[in-house]
Amino acid sequence: MVSLNENDLKDKIVYSEIVSFDVFDTLLLRNVMRPTDVFKAVEQEINEYSVEPVNFSRIRVAAEEKARRVSGREEITFEEIYAQIEYAVGRMKANEFKQLELKLESQFLIANRDLMEIFNFARSLKKKIYLISDMYLASQDVSRFLMENGCEGYDQLFISSELNVTKASGSMYQYIRVAEKINSNEKWIHIGDNYTSDYLNARKNNIEGYYYKKISERESIPSDRTLGESIISAIQLNHKYTNNEQDYWYKFGSDIVAPIYIGLMRWIAKKIKDQDNLYFLARDGFMPHKLYQIMRTHIADLPEGKYLYASRRAYIYPQLIHADVDHAIETLMLHNEGFKQKLTLIEIIENVGLEGENYQRQLGRFNIGTLDEVVNEKNALNIKAFLTSIWSDIQEVLEKELTLLEAYLKQNDVYQQSSINIFDVGWRGSTHLALQDIVGGTVKGMYFGTLDNIYYKIKADSCGYAFNEGAPFKNKKMIMKNVMMYEFLFSSPEGSVFNFTFDHDNKVIPVLNNSELQTSTNEATQRFQQGATDVFIKSMAYYKFTEEVGSDYALSRMQKFINEQNALDMLHFSKLSNSVGLGKALDAQKYATEVDLIDYLMNRNMHNASANCNLWKMAIVIKDSQGRHFNRNEIEKLYNIRYGNFKTIVNHYVSVFKKAVRNPRKTMKRMSMIIKKFFR
C-alpha cells in the first residue's frame, strides 16, 4: 500500500495477532524535509553562542559515515557517532552537541495522527504491539520521544543499534520471532514507510507488510535552500496528510497561501523590531494584523499592532478639496479599464456622498441622457463639465468627511507619533501618500510589493517584500499580471471603508461598503485564511529557525498554481467574483469563467478575449457533454485544433454526426476515423 487506507488496514489488524510499527516517518513525523536538517538546526543553535563558527552539520554527517565504516557491525550507536565528533571538537563540546541534538530531535518530532489512530485501534483490540526501528539512537531516547507524543501502551520496542540486527537486512524480523517465540501460524502485520525494509523484507519473513509511503516523498514541492524553508515545507506536508480538514478552500490556504503569509510576516517582524508602532491598513491589512497578533505571543519586543480603517476612497477623496478642480474631477472619474469596469454617472455622484436623483434635471444641459450613462470617450467631457458644475456640493460633503477622518486618526493616536509605520498590500502607495499629507509627518510603509513608479514623496520611506520599486522584475511581472489573485489573499470579511461617522457615544467609526461583499467569495476567504493560519501557528514553534524565508520560495506555490490553470481549481474560482471599482462602484468581475465545450469551440476568440479580463487572467474552465472539465491547453491538444478556423471545423463535425444519425450503417467507418482524429 502507498498511503493510508484506514478501513483496509483496520480490517487487516482485526485478523492479526501481532501488529508492529516502524517509528520514524511512520508513528512519528519530523517537521523537516530531511533528517539531516536537524543537524542544521543544531549548528544554528551552536553558533548563536560560539565565538568561532562551527560547521556542525558537515562534522555530524562525516562522523556518522566514518562510524559506519569502522564499526563492522550491522548498525552503529549514537555513542559511536559522537566518539568520532569528539576527535574533531573535544569531549566537552561533543557532549554539549549530543545533548543539543537530542533536544532538537525531540522538538522537531510530532505524532502522526493517522497512524496513532491505527495504533490505538490495535490497542483497543488487545493486539500484541511491537515498535521496530532501524535507528542509531538508544531505546531510552526513542521511548521518550514516543511518550512525549502520546504513544504509550505497546508491548516491546526493538532498536537496531542495541540489537545489532536490522529490518534492512531482514535479521530484525528473525530476531523478534525467536525472542518473542512467535510461531509461523500467528498472523503478523508490519506497517512502515520503507518499501524494502518495512514491506518486502517483512513479506520475506512471512509477515504481511503494509507500505505507508513517506509523506515527504508523496508530491513534488518547491526546492528548499534554507533550513527555514525545509521546516515550512515539512509542516505543510505533515499538516496536509494528517489533517481531517478536506474542503477545497481550506487546503488552498494551507497548501498555497501559508508560505506567503509566513514569509511576509517574518519580514515584517524583522523590519519593525526597533520601532514603537505599527498600523495595518484595512482591508488588505486584515490578515497580516491577525497573524501579527499571533506572532507577538511568540516574539518579544514587537510593538503593538493596530488595525486602522482606511481605503483609497476614504483617504484620497476628502483631500480633493485642496486639489485643482480639474484634477479632482478626473480623480472622481477614474475606473479600472484593465478589467473593463463600467463606471456610471450615478456611481460617481453616490461615491462622493450625494443623491443622484437631486441632479436628474440638470443632465439635459450637458447632453447627458440618464444617470445610468456609462463613462466613455464620447461622453467624458460632458460628464466632466456636469461634475464641475456641482463641484461646490461635492466640496461641501468632502470637507465634512475630512474633519471626520482627522478625528478618526486622532482617536487612534496617529497624530501623537513622531513617525508612524504602516502595512498595506502596496503597488504605488496612494493611501500612504494621502495619509502622509493628512498628518503632515513621516509615514513609513511596508508593503507586499511596490512598483517602480511609486509616488516620489514616499519612495524613500517605503519597502516591499515580494518586489521593491519593481525589482526583482520577474516577481513584479508575475504578480501584477494577476494582481487581483494576489489581492484576494489579503481579503477581509468586511466591506471597504466609504467614509467615517459618529456613533451614539460620539466615537468616530467607519462606514463600510458591505454591499460589495459576495457571499461565496466571503465564505471561501474565511476557509482559506483558516487553513493558512493553522499552518502559520504551527510554524511559530520553529520561529528562530524560520526567520529568513525568501520571497521566491514563499511565492513559488502560488505562481505554480496560477500558471498551471488546473481545471478543478478554475472551477472553484469560477464561483467567485470581486469588485474592481472604488467606493460604491459595484462592477464586479469573475475570477474565472466556465464555458460549454461546443460554445468554446464555436466562439473561441470571443471567450479568450473575455477571459483576458478575468481576475485570474485567461482562466477558462471548459465543460464537455459528459460533465468533465478541462483547461484551454487540454482542449486544444485533445482536439488538435490549435490553429485554423475553429468554427468551420466544429460545423463540419456536427454535419457529419447528423448524417451518421440518418445513415448509421454507412457512416460507422467515418465515425471511427473522426474519433481517432479527436483523441490521437
Q: Other CB atoms closer than 10 Å to residue 290's CB: what's the count? A: 18
CA angle 351, 353, 357 (to 5 degrees): 90
Q: Other CB atoms closer than 10 Å to residue 436's CB: what's the count? A: 22
Q: What is the rounded distance in angstroms from the CA atom of residue 429 to the CA atom of residue 289?
A: 19
Collapsing DSSP states into helix, strand and coil, what is residue 309? coil
Q: Which three cell numbers stand for residue 529?
A: 485564511
Look up cell 489579503; give the residue. 490
Look up cell 521593491; give the residue. 468
Q: What is the rounded distance in angstroms from the CA atom of residue 572 to the CA atom of residue 575?
A: 6
pLDDT, residue 643, reads: 46
pLDDT digits (tens, 9 = 90+) for 349-388: 998 899 988 988 899 899 998 888 888 889 889 999 999 9
pLDDT average, residue stretch 656-672: 65
Collapsing DSSP states into helix, strand and coil, what is residue 34? coil
pLDDT, residue 584, reads: 56
Q: What is the rounded distance in angstroms from the CA atom of residue 229 to the CA atom of residue 125?
A: 41
Domains of the chain: 6-216 (3.40.50.1000), 228-309+420-519 (3.40.50), 313-403 (no CATH), 592-680 (no CATH)
Pick from 402, 394, 393: which is nearest to 315 by CA?
402
In the chain, pLDDT over 70 holds for what percent of residues? 91
Contacts of 132 (CB under 8 A, 6+ apart): 20, 21, 22, 23, 157, 158, 167, 172, 176, 190, 192
pLDDT average, residue stretch 450-468: 96
pLDDT, residue 567, reads: 97
Upper half-sphere CA count for residue 105 (Cβ side, 13 Å): 22
pLDDT, residue 218, reads: 86
Look up cell 559511536; give the residue. 80
Contact of 507 with 407, CB cutoff 8 Å: no
pLDDT average, residue stretch 297-326: 93
Confidence band (pLDDT; 50, 70, 90) for 670? Answer: low
Contact of 211 with 192, CB cutoff 8 Å: yes
pLDDT digits (tens, 9 = 90+) for 395-434: 999 999 999 999 999 999 999 888 999 999 999 999 999 9
pLDDT at residue 149 tops 50: yes
pLDDT at residue 604 tops 50: yes
Q: Other CB atoms closer than 10 Å to residue 483's CB: what's the count? A: 16
pLDDT, residue 221, reads: 74
Q: What is the rounded distance in angstroms from the CA atom of residue 222 to the CA atom of residue 237?
A: 12
Q: What's the pTM value of the predicted model, to 2 decimals?
A: 0.88
CA angle 138, 143, 144 (to 5 degrees): 100
**Top mean-pLDDT range of 98-107, 412-421, 581-590, 657-666:** 98-107
Sheet of strand 593-596, all strands in order from the earlier edge strand to the far edge: 593-596, 620-623, 629-630
pLDDT at residue 647 tops 70: no
Pick from 455, 458, 452, 476: which is nearest to 466 by CA?
476
pLDDT digits (tens, 9 = 90+) for 607-645: 999 999 999 999 999 999 999 999 999 998 888 755 445
Q: Average pLDDT, whole number, for the chain?
A: 91
pLDDT, residue 608, reads: 92
In the chain, pLDDT over 90 holds for what percent of residues? 76
Run of H or E residues at 211: strand 208-211
Answer with the residue of higher pLDDT: 261 or 359.
Answer: 261
Confidence band (pLDDT; 50, 70, 90) for 1? Answer: very low
Give the lowest-confidence range in 6-20, 113-127, 511-525.
511-525
What values do phi and psi take at 599, rounded to 5? Answer: -60, -40
pLDDT at residue 678 tops 50: no
pLDDT, residue 548, reads: 80
pLDDT digits (tens, 9 = 90+) for 59-86: 999 999 999 999 989 999 999 999 999 9
pLDDT digits (tens, 9 = 90+) for 135-147: 999 999 999 999 9
Q: Which three cell numbers stand for residue 385?
A: 463639465
Q: Other CB atoms closer than 10 Å to residue 451's CB: what's the count? A: 18
Contacts of 476 (CB under 8 A, 6+ apart): 449, 451, 452, 466, 467, 470
**245: alpha, beta or left? (left if phi > 0; alpha if psi -120 to 50):** beta
